[in-house]
């Protein structure tokens, strides 16, 4: 099966905020496949609490034209993924129904990164080439196997899903009051 197209929309609940203020990042994925697909999100932007600490996103200070280094972790050492019903990794499997947006949210943690300057404007977006490596046609119930059965190999050895129509966000950090 040819990888389906998945479009992505990024939004913040505010585009002007103070450093340290809690802001939520919303990532919406829409599959343009003709049938349901199930994706494994652990190493992708659709696991935003991890992705915001890895190299899945990029951020540019628009006032100085300086990129910020967002990587704080490579994601931790762990054994291989277990894609079966009931496994800890099953919670990272989501079914994308055709043309039905699904939303992933997390606190927008980069506002507390070293290098963020009050009073500056920033552009935030998905890194070039971001993709979904593990996916399969079908719903989560159809794709994941029961404990003791062979793993969901249908999610491996396919061309990855490349994300498209991904928008960038621009935001500003309010100057500190003196």
pLDDT of residue 77: 59
The pLDDT score that the predictor gives to residue 76 is 58
Asked if residue 54 is part of any domain, the answer here is yes
Boundaries of domain holding 103: 6-173
Q: pLDDT below 70 — which residues of the chain?
A: 73-79, 111-112, 152-154, 157, 178
Cα separation of 84 and 142, whole Å?
Answer: 11
The model's pLDDT over 25-50, given as tens digits with 9 standing for 90+, comes to 999 999 999 999 999 999 899 999 88
Residue with tokens 């609940």: 13
**Residue corresponding to tokens 């389906």:** 4
Please check whether residue 139 is in contact with residue 37, taking contact to mean a CB–CB distance below 8 angstroms: no
pLDDT for 78: 62
Residue 77 lies in a domain: yes
Residue 88 domain-assigned? Answer: yes
Is 1 inside any structural domain? no
The strand pair at 102-107 and 93-96 is best described as unpaired
How high is the pLDDT of residue 156?
Answer: 72
Question: Is residue 117 one of the residues assigned to a domain?
Answer: yes
The answer to whether residue 24 sits within a structural domain is yes
Contact predicate 11/165, CB 8 Å: no
> pTM of the entire structure?
0.90
pLDDT, position 74: 55
How many domains are contained in the chain?
1
Q: What angle do CA 28, 31, 33 make, to 5 degrees?
A: 180
In a domain, 20, yes or no: yes
Q: Would you say residue 69 lies in a domain?
A: yes
Q: How many CB atoms lie within 10 A of CB 80?
A: 7
Q: What is the DSSP string of the chain?
A: -PPPPEEEEEEES-SEE-TT---EEEEEEEE--SS-EEEE-TTSTTSHHHHTTTTTEEEEETTTTEEE---S-S---------BTTSGGGGGEEEE-BT--EEEEEE-GGGGSTT--TT-EEEEEEPTT-EE-SEEES-HHHHSBPTTSPP-GGGSSSPPEEEESPPPEEEEEPPPP-
Contact 13, 23 (CB under 8 A): yes
């Amino acid at each position: 099966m040819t990888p389906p197209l998945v479009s992505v929309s990024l939004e913040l609940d505010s585009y002007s905020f103070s450093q340290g203020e809690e802001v939520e990042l919303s990532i919406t994925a829409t599959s343009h496949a003709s049938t349901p697909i199930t994706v494994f999100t652990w190493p992708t932007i659709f696991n935003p609490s991890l992705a915001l600490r890895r190299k899945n996103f990029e951020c540019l200070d628009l006032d100085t034209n300086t990129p910020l280094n967002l990587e704080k972790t490579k994601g931790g050492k762990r054994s291989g993924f277990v894609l079966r019903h009931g496994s800890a990794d099953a919670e990272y499997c989501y079914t994308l129904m055709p043309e039905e947006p699904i939303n992933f949210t997390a606190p927008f943690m980069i506002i507390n990164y070293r290098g963020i300057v009050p009073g500056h404007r920033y552009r935030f977006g998905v890194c070039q080439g971001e993709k979904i490596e593990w996916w399969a046609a079908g719903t989560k119930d159809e794709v994941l196997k029961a404990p003791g059965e062979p793993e969901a190999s249908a999610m491996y050895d396919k061309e990855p899903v490349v994300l498209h129509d991904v928008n960038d966000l621009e935001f500003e950090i309010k100057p500190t009051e003196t």
